[in-house]
């Protein structure tokens, strides 16, 4: 039994350490998903939270100033827009461009601009259609499709 007790203690020690590491890892890197309007109405007390916000890149809004990139994203339905400035060190994804769906990760500064530390982007559903939108985007106007 003594052997099993030893194993028990060792296993508990390993798992305990890992659980502690995991908990602190979550505390450090947890990020909340917010919509643009939720972000704008966020109380001041939560301003320091890390947030992930998604929206469509406003056409013509991408502007590079030195190594920082400024752009705007907007919500489709409610039309709320958000100024974003990206200063992260990773290059922007190739899919990031006008009208792409962008996901910005970062914090809201007191002046209302969003400081993003990373950007992910999907191209405007050219390759893959979301469910419910029926068929993928028509290839050119008037393309009819029939399934077998």
Residue 18 is a binding residue for another protein (CB under 8 A): yes
Burial letters 88-97, b for 16+ CB under 10 A, else e? beeebbebbb
Residue 15 is a binding residue for another protein (CB under 8 A): yes
Nearest distance in Å: CB 95, another protein: 7
Q: Measuring CA to CA, which residue among 142, 136, 83 is closest to residue 108?
A: 83
Phi-psi label, residue 3: left if phi above 0, alpha if psi -120 to 50, beta otherwise = alpha
Contacts with 36 (C-beta within 8 Å, 6 or more apart), sequence order: 53, 55, 73, 74, 75, 78, 80, 81, 82
CA angle 35, 133, 93 (to 5 degrees): 55
The residue (of 89 and 110) whose beta carbon lies closer to another protein is 89
Candidates 39-47, 78-86, 107-115, 134-142: pick the segment binding another protein (CB under 8 A).
134-142
Alpha-carbon distance of 47 to 110, in angstroms, equals 8
For residue 22, what are its two tokens? 């995991």
Candidates 39-47, 78-86, 106-114, 115-123: pick the segment binding another protein (CB under 8 A).
115-123
Report the run of H or E that residue 108 belongs to, with start and end. Answer: strand 101-108
Give the residue, chosen from 42, 74, 80, 120, that forms a contact with another protein under the rule CB under 8 A: 120
Nearest distance in Å: CB 84, another protein: 16
Is-contact 96 57, C-beta < 8 A? yes
Nearest distance in Å: CB 81, another protein: 21
Residue 105 is a binding residue for another protein (CB under 8 A): yes
Residue 143 is a binding residue for another protein (CB under 8 A): yes
Within positions 19 to 78, which residues make up the interface with another protein, using CB under 8 A?
21-22, 24-26, 28-33, 52, 63-67
**Which residues are at the interface with another protein (CB under 8 A)?**
3-4, 6-7, 10-11, 14-15, 17-18, 21-22, 24-26, 28-33, 52, 63-67, 89-95, 97, 103, 105, 120, 122-123, 126-131, 135-136, 139-140, 142-148
């Amino acid at each position: 039994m003594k052997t099993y007790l030893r194993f028990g203690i060792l296993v508990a020690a390993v798992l305990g350490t890992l659980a502690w590491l995991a908990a602190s890892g979550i505390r450090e890197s947890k990020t909340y998903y917010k919509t643009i309007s939720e972000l704008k109405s966020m109380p001041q007390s939560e301003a320091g939270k890390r947030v992930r916000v998604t929206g469509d890149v406003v056409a013509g809004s991408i502007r590079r100033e030195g190594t920082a990139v400024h752009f705007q994203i907007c919500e489709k339905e409610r039309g709320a827009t958000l100024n974003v400035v990206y200063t992260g060190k990773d290059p922007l994804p190739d899919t990031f461009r006008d009208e792409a769906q962008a996901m910005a990760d970062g914090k809201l500064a007191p002046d209302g601009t969003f400081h993003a530390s990373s950007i992910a982007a999907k191209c405007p559903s050219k390759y893959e259609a979301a469910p419910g939108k029926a068929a993928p985007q028509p290839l050119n106007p008037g393309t009819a499709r029939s399934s077998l």
